[in-house]
Amino acid sequence: MKGGGGGGGKRRWKGLVIGVLVLVILSMLVPLAFLLGLHNGFHSSGFVTLQPSSASNDGFRQFDSFGRTNDSKVSKSESDHVDEVLRKLVPVLPKVPKDVEKIKGLGDINESSTEEDARRGLPVPSNVVPSPVSTSNTIDGAPTKEIQHTMVNADETGKACQVKYGSYCLWREENKEPMKDTNVKKMKDQLFVARAYYPSIAKMPSQSKLTRDMKQNIQDFERILSEGSADTDLPPQIDKKLQKMEDVISKAKSFPVDCNNVDKKLRQILDLTDDEVSFHMKQSVFLYQLAVQTMPKSLHCLSMRLTVEYFKSPLPDVDLSIAKKSTDPSLYHYVIISNNVLASSVVINSTVSHARDSKNLVFHVLTDEQNYFGMKEWFFRNPCKVASVQVLNTEKLDLENHDLHLSLPVEFRVSFRHSTHYLTIFSHSHYLLPKIFPNLEKVVVLDDDVVVQRDLSPLWDLDLEGKVNGAVRTCSLRLGQLKSHIGGGSFDDNACPWMSGLNIIDLGKWREFGVSETYQRLVKEQMNARDKSSETISLRASLLTFQDLVYPLDNTWALSGLGYDHSVSAQAIKDAAILHYNGNMKPWLELGIPKYKPYWKKFLNRKDQFLTDCNVNP
């Protein structure tokens, strides 16, 4: 019993110590919380979200609501913050209606005005209800001019967007719709500003008339907006009302109002809309990426239909005659690694169409199990003059100890301050070529996103001067600039990276130099680097492997950029032997850049029944 009593005393004593400790900690936390501005009635996280360009978000640098650079994540003190909001806001307000005209770029993130409304934090039209003017519902307002301005800036340069989101921005630019219902939007903007000022004005006893006017205008606007969501729903004298509201607002602004009040309101709204703008931006980008990466339904349908057809009525066995040609080293052998029947078809047809003599051409299409039969069916149905086409299923190749999964050329997007490039490089399937074609000494490798516009036979006469890979290089980019992506190494910083797309390969030299082995070793070395993606590893390994083994082809051989660069000149296109649609906007996709599509489309046999059936209409 005694022992038990003593234990109880100890416990009590312990409890006391803990209690005191808690008190001490609390007494330290309270002033700290006060210092951090929690007393101001705002959720503290709101303050942080005012700066969308956080470390993880540096592409958004120019989207910053307050136009400051955000190199440090340290928030400014509260009073600075208030000042800045007001400084920015004041000169902007009188110009509201004119500015709205300029923000077209903003409207195209979401096409329909309903989505637009949702993005702005406004209720969608069906449930727009007139709301009494009170502190609690001002967050229903539209974004301030600030956000719109920063978005305009981003759109004007377009660069910040591109750095962050790549070709999505170009696509958005290309597909933007003129902004609809500008008057409704002007009204929402004005309503928002008026609501922000109203409580401060209402507190001034001397300004009862202005208070009444403001209230009148606000209610008026709310009523009108509740009745219609399009410009056509607005009453005829809307211009006058807009003018009246503008007058009231500029009057309200002329008073030295309590900054804190206005700021409070603006900040609540800013937090909300800022988050939403960023959210919707991300959402659009995500959907866009999905559209880019997903095989369009119609192409999938085509592949399926062809496969079914193949099994319904097996082809006459043409493989034997092709087999003989496909190993004949005296012929011109072209290799295409692809899972896209339309793309391969265009590459082959365009090559054959310009070839002086098509009977010496042999095409080898390397594809996967899923597309193998469809491809065979397609090239049987759509022969290209007398050229031979051999379709190979990489997964069924007779090669031991190799990864036989088809891997398409890897596109690597590199962005610098003012430019974006897509580097295309060999994938691991390329490194199987010397083994797949043991009898061949030379092949030309074409990516499936190219169109050939000239006779390619001069390529075969080129003296590669002992090099392995004849390739076009992109000298607008230097290896030194890539270092942040691929890491250092024994690179010549000034060297230009070479491109996949059109490559003449000396397989004999390839075997002699053990190129595949070098590549595999380099990949293995990097496998354990946790911070590197497999694309980065491939890029680095390919660049290093071929470092001294590239024979630079003249730039007129291949023109790249047609899958992302909107400013390729028509003359350059005309002059190029090969057009390379590297980038996200492939010509067979809805997203393809419209003005470059015709060069690709004209080599497609669009009369094929299956194309019609599957609604393939690139």
Ligand X SMILES: *[C@@H]1O[C@H](CO)[C@@H](O)[C@H](O)[C@H]1NC(C)=O
- The residues that touch ligand X, with contacts defined as CB under 6 A, are 345, 349, 353, 382, 384, 602-605
E-assigned strand segments in 309-355: 332-337
First-last CA distance in the chain: 91
Pairing of the two strands 450-452 and 578-580: antiparallel
- Distance separating alpha carbons of residues 522 and 204, to the nearest angstrom: 74
Q: Between residues 75 and 382, which has the closer beta carbon with respect to ligand X?
A: 382
Residue 55: phi and psi, rounded to 5, are -55, -35
Residue 330: phi and psi, rounded to 5, are -85, -5
Q: Between residues 519 and 603, which has the closer beta carbon with respect to ligand X?
A: 603
Minimum distance, C-beta of residue 344 to ligand X, in the bound complex (Å): 11
Can you read off the two tokens belonging to residue 8? 């109880």
Among residues 456, 448, 437, the alpha carbon closest in space to that of 323 is found at: 437
Among residues 576, 581, 582, 580, the alpha carbon closest in space to that of 557 is found at: 576
C-beta atoms surrounding 339 within 10 Å? 22
Q: Between residues 242 and 347, which has the closer beta carbon with respect to ligand X?
A: 347
Helix (H) or strand (E) holding 558: strand 558-560
Q: Between residues 513 and 603, which has the closer beta carbon with respect to ligand X?
A: 603
Minimum distance, C-beta of residue 384 to ligand X, in the bound complex (Å): 5
Distances in Å between the Cα of 548 and the Cα atoms of 72, 285, 428, 465 are: 42, 39, 19, 12
Minimum distance, C-beta of residue 354 to ligand X, in the bound complex (Å): 9
Q: Between residues 352 and 541, which has the closer beta carbon with respect to ligand X?
A: 352
Pairing of the two strands 558-560 and 578-580: parallel
Minimum distance, C-beta of residue 608 to ligand X, in the bound complex (Å): 8
Q: Between residues 341 and 553, which has the closer beta carbon with respect to ligand X?
A: 341
Minimum distance, C-beta of residue 348 to ligand X, in the bound complex (Å): 8
Q: Between residues 57 and 605, which has the closer beta carbon with respect to ligand X?
A: 605
Q: Between residues 197 and 603, which has the closer beta carbon with respect to ligand X?
A: 603
Minimum distance, C-beta of residue 605 to ligand X, in the bound complex (Å): 3
Rounded to the nearest 5 degrees, what angle is found at the Cα of 170, between the Cα atoms of 169 and 172? Answer: 65
Contacts (Cβ under 8 Å, ≥6 apart) of 437: 327, 333, 335, 364, 443, 507
Q: Between residues 240 and 606, which has the closer beta carbon with respect to ligand X?
A: 606
Minimum distance, C-beta of residue 380 to ligand X, in the bound complex (Å): 11
Among residues 381, 333, 384, 382, the alpha carbon closest in space to that of 361 is found at: 333
Minimum distance, C-beta of residue 487 to ligand X, in the bound complex (Å): 44
Minimum distance, C-beta of residue 350 to ligand X, in the bound complex (Å): 7
Minimum distance, C-beta of residue 177 to ligand X, in the bound complex (Å): 34
Q: Between residues 334 and 603, which has the closer beta carbon with respect to ligand X?
A: 603
Find tokens 């990276």 and name the residue.
497
Tell me the residue nearest to ligand X as measured from the CB: 605
Minimum distance, C-beta of residue 328 to ligand X, in the bound complex (Å): 23
Minimum distance, C-beta of residue 378 to ligand X, in the bound complex (Å): 9
Q: Between residues 543 and 604, which has the closer beta carbon with respect to ligand X?
A: 604
- Distance separating alpha carbons of residues 283 and 222, to the nearest angstrom: 30
Kindly compute the dihedral angle of the four CA atoms of residues 500, 505, 508, 511, in this order, to the nearest 10 degrees: 0
Name the 3-class secondary structure at 86: helix
CA atoms 46, 193, 64, 584: torsion sign: positive
Minimum distance, C-beta of residue 379 to ligand X, in the bound complex (Å): 8
Q: Between residues 207 and 303, which has the closer beta carbon with respect to ligand X?
A: 303
Q: Between residues 548 and 613, which has the closer beta carbon with respect to ligand X?
A: 613
- Distance separating alpha carbons of residues 347 and 501, to the nearest angstrom: 11
Name the 3-class secondary structure at 358: helix
Distances in Å between the Cα of 164 and the Cα atoms of 108, 256, 294, 483 are: 18, 41, 21, 19
Kindly compute the dihedral angle of the four CA atoms of residues 79, 81, 87, 90, in this order, to the nearest 10 degrees: -100
Minimum distance, C-beta of residue 56 to ligand X, in the bound complex (Å): 47
Q: Between residues 564 and 603, which has the closer beta carbon with respect to ligand X?
A: 603
Q: Are 486 and 536 in contact (CB under 8 A)?
A: yes
Pairing of the two strands 361-367 and 558-560: unpaired
